[in-house]
Chains A and B, each alone.
Chain A
Amino acid sequence: METPKQRLYDFVIVGGGAAGLTAALYSSRREMKTLIISQDVGGQAATTPDIENYPGIVFSHGVDLMETFKKQAEHFGAELVFDSVNKIEKLDDGSFGVHANSFVVQAEAVLLAFGLSHRHLEIPGEEEMIGKGVTYCATCDAPLYKGKNVTVVGGGNCAMDAAILLSKIAKTVIIVNKNSEFRGESVLMDKIKAASNITTMFNTNSKAVLDKEKKGRVSHLVVADVQSKKETEIPTDGIFVEIGFTVNADWIKGLVDIDERKQIKITPNCETNVPGIFAAGDVTTVEYKQVVISAGEGAKAALQAHAYVMQKSGKRTAFIDWGKKK
């Protein structure tokens, strides 16, 4: 499972979320030898508890829907390995060398579909306490805080979702919000107001994570009033950081064009400025970050990559979806 079966692929996909897995489904059905390199299966969608807006599926847990995406791609021959890609280089013959941590493969075309990563607070103590009370996945970790006192940092839909989920499990929930109001769906704001064990501190910045008793776990979150700068230590068992997402773009700097938000710039058919390198899903400049949109973008990217590879090898592109070779 850990190393790819071959050294040469038609299409290497970086990222195994909705975009990457759908691209793999489409490229495999076009008989492109396809490899997905990903740190996980399903990306953000897999950590979404309930998905109710994917057409054709009335309700699914995110992780189950993404598992089906994966199975469907593998059914048509796509291969998935768990690893991280750290470098892509253009080779003399126009193909690409894709360097993962434990192997290198060659690809005729590459798809960047590695999505978004959780934004960190970047305050003292945070990194050291990851897994020791600091967490970025409320769906995964909320049930471990039964009867505890927890803090949620953030003020958008994700933070409100996390607080509502936690309010049913934990004893108390404090939301630390640097703004003067929530920004998101009013349905969620109403639920926050209705929950008797949620308190919100508005206009409050997070300053540091403490392990005061040196027990190897979070004890306090230090916060400060935005205006007076007065600091307070909130005793807490867990800190759920829900301040949005960012593109982890450092390793692609200089490879493809990115915008000021570090999102990869693409054409309507998912081409980057480098021929042969495509991008799809949340990592791109496409504004709306939704599972169904990422899936559609992944399909487009695969079809465009197929056309590119066919053209490069001097063959005509067929415009039908081949299906599985019998």
Chain B
Amino acid sequence: MSEVAFTDANFQAEVLEEKNKPVLVDFWASWCGPCKMQGPIVDEVAKEMEGKAKVGKLEVDQNPGTAQQYQVMSIPTIVIFKGGKPVWNATGVQQKEKLISELKNLL
């Protein structure tokens, strides 16, 4: 599977210390209707960008530390990191093409 489950515990290693590829993080929760629409779109982005970008999800209920650190106040929120820094973010359901084009801009 190309998609990664990010957590408070692995965020540093998986996201912040990823030197080469851009990393897309989908902040979501099971109670959030729109997140259930975003999920499958992110799965497709992960498949399409396999090898070029790291794509994954972070469940905010289980991992409140990271959500708080990046001031996630509405979900779904997507943040793209490059070189350990957040470089792009958007709130609300995002379409596949948009996410892929944002990732490609960072390659």
Say if A and B assemble together.
Answer: yes
Q: Footprint of B on A, CB under 8 Å?
A: 1-2, 39-42, 46-47, 49, 62-63, 66-67, 82-83, 102, 130-133, 135, 137, 139-141, 143-146, 216-217, 238
Assess A46 versus B33: contact at CB under 8 Å? Given A144-B67, A144-B74: yes
B4 on the A face (CB < 8 A): no
A62 touches B33 (CB 8 A): yes
Given the complex of chains A and B, what is the CA–CA distance between A133 and B77 in angstroms?
A: 13
Chain B, range 23-63, C-beta contacts under 8 Å to A: 29, 31-37, 40-41, 44, 60-61
A132 touches B33 (CB 8 A): no
Shortest distance from the beta carbon of B86 to any chain A beta carbon, whole Å: 11
A238 touches B73 (CB 8 A): yes
B33 touches A135 (CB 8 A): no
A2 touches B97 (CB 8 A): yes
Query: C-beta contact mask, B79-107 vs A, less than 8 Å → 1, else 0?
Result: 00000000000111101110000000000
A141 touches B74 (CB 8 A): yes
Within 8 Å CB of A1, what residues of B? 40-41, 44, 96
Instruction: Report, nearest first, the 5 A-B pairs whose CB atoms are least far apart.
Output: A131-B91, A46-B33, A63-B33, A140-B32, A131-B74
B16 on the A face (CB < 8 A): no
Assess A102 versus B97: contact at CB under 8 Å? Given A216-B71, A217-B71: yes
Given B37, B41, B75, B97, which contacts A144 in the complex, CB threshold below 8 Å?
B75
Assess A2 versus B36: contact at CB under 8 Å? Given A132-B73, A141-B74: no
Given A82-B41, A132-B71, A144-B75, 8 other A-B residues pairs in contact with their CB atoms under 8 A: A47-B34, A67-B36, A102-B97, A131-B91, A137-B34, A140-B29, A140-B33, A143-B29
Given B33, B72, B73, B77, which contacts A139 in the complex, CB threshold below 8 Å?
B33
Assess A139 versus B95: contact at CB under 8 Å? Given A132-B71, A217-B71: no
